[in-house]
Amino acid sequence: MDKSAKIEYNGKSYDFPIITGSENEEAIDINKLRAETGLITYDPGYKNTGHCISNITYLDGENGILRYRGYSVDELCEKKSFLDVVYLLIFGDLPSSDQLTKFQNDIREEALVDEDLKKIFKSFPRSAHPMGVLSSLTSALIAFNPLNETKISIHDKKGITEDDKMYMSTVRLLSKFPIISSWTLRKIKGLPLNYSNNKLSYTENIAYMMFALPNREYIQNDVITNALNTLLILHADHEQNCSTSTVRIVGSSYAGLYASISAGIGALWGRLHGGANQAVIEMLELIKNDGSDIDKYISKAKDKSDPFRLMGFGHRVYKNFDPRAKIIKKAADQVLNDLGINDPVLDIAKSIEEKALNDEYFIEKKLYPNVDFYSGIIYRALGIPTEMFTVMFALGRIPGWIAQWKEMRDSNNPIGRPRQIYNGPTHRTIS
């Protein structure tokens, strides 16, 4: 018998179907709730609200499981390149070697940025936060690459299908986003802007664009490429988080892919989300400069009257451990070791983790290190400035945003439009 959930209200009983996902997650389908009962649900922060059915990423917060299209992130980090994972997320399966080659070549073909976009970039002050610059430039890309991907028409006048447009938009964004991201880093460092090196793999090319110095031979460093590969894969998707939901909801109005992703970059920027990786390093620096008194800061984090929180700790869905944090901690150790770097903030981070994991407050609230706790330590070791950390997150998250946007559009979801409970003044007149 099909399962259902009963709601008793105003002396009447209503049945709502239970829907079950492929991993046996269950949800009450309240599609008809308002029509049948006149009620809406109240769920600030959408803590209990599923806003889509998705085939992309499976996350079990209680058991620390994260899989993309069925593959665990641990295995993907171990055996696959970031570009394989990009393909997997967007197209549903790992690519064959021919598919990967074609995808890579198509991305290389688009590795140019209009000189007028460069002018816009150059007009930003050097002090501008790179996330703001990137959000603006991603939006500006629409003007230079006007493909209006919607499902309204099947063919445009030139006979280009919506699928062709989607593919072109995808390839262009995957090609141009790393270029403009590397420009933001080079501007901070006062280096000349550069372009792709089409002989390199996708991840190697990101490292090249960021780190190649003028008038010096560029030597590929496998430690850096491997670390970047792991970080980018671990950030590639995370189901319905704040920025991804933003991308979906913006796209649900039939806004284009770039406009939606530009909004997602804005959402990711905040310190409670992707901006936490920058906030973690700033916090660790603060503690170091304040005499490394870790107990003092653990106490501050526990004090309700103190706004201080342990950045990089806690997660909306992981209540056991964040599987990404485990992989990143190992990678941080390895990168520092391989590059021969002794970073005192890593020792502070480890002490904080040890103390917090044994502290009643953090145990009771199920607060564990999240993906951002150790990622900044790797970025620092690679010579990436702190304000660029969230950009590195965005570089990894682009394929997830594209995959989620595409899925939302393909499934013809209705426009995202939550309701509210109005609690302001009742009707009044101007006397």
List of residues contacting ligand ACO (CB under 6 A): 45, 272-274, 276, 301, 309-316, 365, 367, 370-372
User: Who's near 320: CB < 8 A, 6+ residues apart?
Assistant: 61, 62, 63, 64, 366, 368
The CB-based long-range contact list for 85-88 (8 Å cut-off, 24+ gap) reads 85/232, 85/233, 85/236, 85/399, 86/174, 86/202, 86/236, 86/398, 86/399
Q: What is the nearest approach in angstroms of ligand ACO to the Cβ of residue 372?
A: 5
Q: What is the nearest approach in angstroms of ligand ACO to the Cβ of residue 367?
A: 5
Our CB check for ligand ACO shows the closer of 45 and 214 to be: 45
Our CB check for ligand ACO shows the closer of 2 and 360 to be: 360
25-36 b/e (C-beta count within 10 Å ≥ 16 → b)? eebbebeebeee
Distance of CA 366 to the CA centre of its chain: 22
Dihedrals phi, psi of 133, to nearest 5 degrees: -60, -45
The sign one gets for the Cα dihedral 313, 316, 318, 322 is: negative
User: Cβ distance 49 to 35 under 8 Å?
Assistant: no
Q: What is the nearest approach in angstroms of ligand ACO to the Cβ of residue 325?
A: 9
Q: What is the nearest approach in angstroms of ligand ACO to the Cβ of residue 334?
A: 22
Q: What is the nearest approach in angstroms of ligand ACO to the Cβ of residue 414?
A: 27
Among residues 295, 372, 410, 427, which one is catalytic? 372
Our CB check for ligand ACO shows the closer of 172 and 380 to be: 380
Our CB check for ligand ACO shows the closer of 316 and 350 to be: 316
315: annotated active-site residue: yes
**Helix, strand, coil percent values for the chain (each to nearest 5):** 55, 5, 40
Our CB check for ligand ACO shows the closer of 397 and 406 to be: 397
Smallest Cα–Cα separation from 335: which of 214, 216, 207? 207
Distance of CA 146 to the CA centre of its chain: 25
Among residues 84, 273, 315, 322, which one is catalytic? 315
Our CB check for ligand ACO shows the closer of 290 and 410 to be: 290
Q: What is the nearest approach in angstroms of ligand ACO to the Cβ of residue 395?
A: 14
Instruction: Residue 131: count other Cβ atoms within 10 Å of its Cβ.
Output: 24
195-222 b/e (C-beta count within 10 Å ≥ 16 → b)? ebbeebbbbbbbbbbbbbeeeeeeeeee
User: Cβ distance 348 to 284 under 8 Å?
Assistant: yes
Q: So which residues are the catalytic ones?
A: 315, 372
